[in-house]
């Protein structure tokens, strides 16, 4: 459980952050965040939840606009905050991991990431009908519930509706109607209260990647084998984990390539090109293997998973996490430890993988 008092220091940067008065007549971003919590506590859909879910949603409500402190700009004659949802989720993750120690246990990991997903996606319900296939977009989001059962579209709707009620704006009634439509579509799509019940992982992956199919249809699995991508911050224990669980498989490792070539740490281009060619050799032979790097962001992982999929392999991403202080101890005890100042920068880009990225995704505490 996250105590709301422990989050108060996170909010200092929101004081005085300007908002468009046409959409936010209530004042600055801090005033809005507090009003969102007040309105949330009045909603019947919120009151129907158990105490732990209520506490989680109140935390998400308090932090949902954290990114405005970093993203707010004056543009075309008005205040706007492009990208604040994604930025706020990363800021919340960083603070929850390092300040509150929400890391390293399955319970802490699932709670933290449910809060971060709610923050990251709190604007999406209002824009879901702008998608080419709104029902598929809902199923894609709802699949996060397979990794943390604390996240559901129903809870996302509670946050999004509270966000609307926590504004003083002329279009509030219209926006609330949009929320009712969001709930109705998620209910119809079979994923309002949990993930859509796919028959198996290949069928889910076909839907995640936009294949023409009937939802729930079982598809034929054409993959010849699996490439395991290991993801995690320096000091998490990736090498130890791989040796214990995949010691019999070949491994492509960026750190190993760098060491073998004797190249400087800043010569990433040579390392990546060499590692990609090593991977291609194994892929041509249809040889399952492990790919070992930090792999912290969807964009970074996607450059590799796209390669693996082009050669017909299935991909499993295993995100590893240790407690923050334990990870720090392990890192500093290594011969080739990464400076903690560098790890802090890497943490700002961390996004644990979701099932929109690969056929199989696992969050593992080590």
Is 248 in the same domain as 149? no
- Mean residue pLDDT across the chain: 95
Q: Is residue 172 part of a domain?
A: yes
Last residue of a domain, one of 127, 162, 188: 188
Last residue of a domain, one of 188, 203, 235: 188
Tell me what the mean pLDDT of segment 215-232 comes to: 95
Is 335 in the same domain as 237? yes
Q: What is the pLDDT of residue 335?
A: 83
Residues 183-209: pLDDT tens digits? 999 999 999 999 999 999 999 999 999
Q: Is residue 205 part of a domain?
A: no
Q: Is residue 207 part of a domain?
A: no
Is 165 in the same domain as 242? no
Is 177 in the same domain as 118? yes
Q: What is the pLDDT of residue 263?
A: 77
User: Using 50, 70 and 90 to split pLDDT, how confident is the model at 336?
Assistant: confident
User: Using 50, 70 and 90 to split pLDDT, how confident is the model at 266?
Assistant: low
Is 12 in the same domain as 143? yes
Domain of residue 297, CATH code:
3.40.50.300
Is 241 in the same domain as 157? no
Question: How many domains is the chain built from?
Answer: 2
- The answer to whether residue 287 scores a pLDDT higher than 80 is yes
Residues 50-85: pLDDT tens digits? 999 999 999 999 999 999 999 999 999 999 999 999
Is 156 in the same domain as 243? no
Query: Half-sphere exposure of 205 toward its Cβ, with a 13 Å CA cutoff?
Result: 19
Per the confidence metrics, is the pTM higher than 0.85? yes
Give CA torsion, residues 62, 348, 307, 196, to 10 deg: -10
Is 129 in the same domain as 231? no
Is 45 in the same domain as 182? yes
Is 251 in the same domain as 181? no
Is 178 in the same domain as 252? no
Q: How far is CA 180 from CA 17, 40, 231, 338, in A?
A: 30, 16, 38, 49
Alpha-carbon dihedral sign for residues 142, 354, 146, 164: negative
Is 14 in the same domain as 155? yes
**Beta carbons of 183 and 192 less than 8 angstroms apart:** yes
Q: Is residue 108 part of a domain?
A: yes
Domain carrying residue 57: 4-188
Least confident of 3-12, 88-97, 279-288, 315-324: 3-12
Burial of 190 (0-12, 13-18, 19+ CB in 10 A): middle
């Amino acid at each position: 459980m996250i105590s709301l008092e422990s989050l108060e220091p996170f909010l200092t940067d929101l004081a005085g952050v300007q908002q468009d008065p046409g959409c936010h007549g209530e004042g600055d971003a801090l005033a809005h965040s507090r009003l969102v919590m007040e309105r949330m506590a009045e909603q019947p859909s919120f009151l129907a939840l158990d105490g732990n879910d209520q506490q989680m949603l109140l935390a998400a409500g308090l932090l949902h606009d954290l990114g405005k402190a970093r993203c707010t700009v004056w543009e075309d004659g008005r205040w706007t905050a492009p990208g604040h949802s994604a930025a706020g989720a990363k800021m919340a993750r960083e603070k929850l991991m390092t300040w509150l120690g929400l890391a390293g246990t399955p319970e802490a990991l699932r709670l933290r990431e449910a809060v971060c997903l709610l923050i990251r996606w709190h604007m999406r319900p209002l824009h879901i009908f702008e998608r080419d296939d709104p029902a598929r977009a809902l199923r894609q989001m709802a699949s996060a519930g397979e990794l943390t059962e604390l996240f559901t579209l129903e809870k996302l709707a509670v946050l999004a509706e509270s966000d609307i009620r926590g504004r003083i704006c002329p279009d509030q009634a219209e926006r609330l109607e949009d929320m009712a439509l969001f709930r109705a579509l998620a209910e119809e799509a079979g994923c309002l209260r949990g993930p859509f019940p796919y028959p198996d992982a290949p069928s889910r992956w076909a839907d995640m990647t936009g294949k023409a199919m009937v939802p729930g249809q079982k598809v034929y699995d054409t993959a010849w084998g699996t490439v395991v991508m290991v993801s995690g911050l320096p000091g998490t224990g990736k090498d130890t984990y791989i040796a214990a669980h995949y010691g019999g498989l070949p491994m492509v490792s960026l750190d190993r390539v760098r060491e073998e070539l004797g190249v400087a740490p800043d010569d990433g281009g040579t390392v990546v090109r060499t590692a990609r060619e090593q991977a291609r050799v194994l892929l041509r032979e249809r040889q399952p293997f492990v790919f070992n790097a930090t792999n912290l962001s969807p964009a970074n992982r996607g450059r590799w998973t796209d390669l693996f999929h082009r050669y017909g392999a299935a991909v499993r991403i295993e995100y590893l996490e240790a407690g923050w202080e334990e990870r720090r101890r392990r890192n500093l005890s290594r011969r080739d430890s990464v400076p903690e100042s560098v790890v802090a920068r890497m943490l700002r880009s961390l996004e644990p993988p979701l099932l929109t990225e690969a056929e199989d995704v696992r969050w593992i505490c080590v």
